[in-house]
Structure 1
């Protein structure tokens, strides 16, 4: 029995070493270097000075505001749209194969490529989007150049890019629901709308929770799409916390930007873990 246990633990050693090397060690070192002024060859301990400087950043309030707007907006849209697509793709609709290919395609394209493509499509005068609106007599807005609209334009693109993953998770959740529930509901005279609200939604709760958590973490940490499309502009109007941190790296403030990463890590943990606990208490068992 002891030999079997030792053998089982031995199989975990390679994965444990990789996890420690690629996650635990960098995490610990990030916390350490956040209290220093460092470069590639030297470091100096400065205590909490980096954290003080980070919170004095002029664009920080805008970054926090945009990050929360972006994260919660994209999460809500991915849940609603992803669940709608999942219901369609698990139905008997004849065109579901075409819809499936349209929904899943964006997940195969890199985020940078998506950002570049939509930057062209959303050009205020030459972009296909505004040219299409012009055919109907609508004067399209400056999607990425309007400070009041830029963050919402980015959110729309992020939802287009990520809703396919949410749909896959929802399809798995819906397919795991026993058909007996729907058959019994139909025998009792229920319609499809009632079946959706009283069977599909409650019994897909684990999938909904997974999408909420994954989408929320991704939204709070988003960087590449924003940098590819707006670079945080115009001005600081579409800056997120991650893009502010990257600008500090660019300016050579390595210790300051490391402190920003630690703050971002703690912020994500403090937001996601309570939501995770709350959602798990509400799960419905089949």
Structure 2
């Protein structure tokens, strides 16, 4: 190895070690914590070894099962809508000539708003008594709807908020992908008489598959970690209608003070999400290779 190569790795080593410590030390502590039951004695944490008892208790946890089911539904529906809306917004924006910068600015505004403000805004909009959504429905003679208090509508209401908030993320990534596509391919297809639908199906989508996969994986990871919208809008209710994994772990750790059990739940959820994301990525990549 040449001297400049050694110097390059030597200068990167401190940063790599620093970020490795930030990643693996908390994870190692979480793993160790999952095999213990923690009690507080005179403001001191007392660790009691319980082995795998915390992990064995997970399958019987009804709240965890509800959280996993709701999280999967939330992630699949929300990310699918965000990908579809974001893609067609990006596709439309690339075809706009006048006002392109204005439209891009408008589309990315929701992602710039802090989560606490989004929760406050949408909670007011969803209000049963004076929310703007129910007021608009009243104009058409439709009675007020309990968007956040109805178990059949609460999760859908949160999904709508997430779609509004995170579609700009998909829009930005997909717009960058679309603008990086080779123009000569489309010009040749247009000369050969290909229609817009044919170019979308046979040229744009195949070329965009790598960007679509990356965007999908990023959003799925973030969707599985959803917390702030649930915390601000519904608190997991009504009942367990909007209970998600992150909020369940929050309950165990901070509300019920089951630190060891919460750590075991965290480890299990990390493993579950990793397997699901890996499976989805491999399936999508395999389909891309076949096409």
TM-score, normalization by structure 2: 0.92
Who is 2:260 aligned against? 255
Question: Residue 19 of structure 2 aligns with which residue?
Answer: 19
Cα-to-partner distance string for 1:225-248 (whole Å, 9 max, x where unaligned)? 111110101121110011111011
Deviation at 1:223?
A: 1.1
C-alpha contact 1:88 1:96 (8 A) present in aligned 2: no
Q: CA deviation at 1:95?
A: 4.8
Any idea what the Cα deviations from partners look like across 1:9-60, whole Å, max 9, x if unmatched? 2122122122222111111211111111125532111111112233322322
Question: Could you list the per-position Cα deviations for residues 161-219 of structure 1 after superposition, in whole angstroms to 9, with x for gaps in the alignment?
Answer: 11111011101111111111111111112222222222111111111101111111111
Could you tell me which residue of structure 1 aligns to residue 270 of structure 2? Answer: 265
SS of the residue aligned with 1:145?
coil
CA RMSD of aligned residues (A): 1.8
Which runs of 5 or more residues in structure 1 are unaligned? none
Instruction: Kindly indicate whether residue 165 of structure 2 is the aligned counterpart of residue 161 of structure 1.
Output: yes
Q: Cα deviations across residues 48-103 of structure 1 (Å, max 9, x unaligned)?
A: 11122333223222212101100101111111001011001111254544432221
CA distance in 2 between counterparts of 1:236 and 1:116 reads: 21
Tell me the distance in 2 between the aligned counterparts of 1:22 and 1:176.
Answer: 35
Alignment partner of 2:57: what SS?
Answer: helix
* 1:195 matched residue in structure 2: 199
Q: Please state if 1:70 is matched with 2:74.
A: yes
Distance 2:5 2:38 in 1: 44
The whole-number CA distance in structure 2 between the counterparts of 1:54 and 1:278 is 28
**Which residue does 1:9 correspond to in 2?**
9
Uncovered stretches (5+) of structure 2, i.e. residues with no partner: none
Structure 1 residue 214 and structure 2 residue 218: aligned?
yes
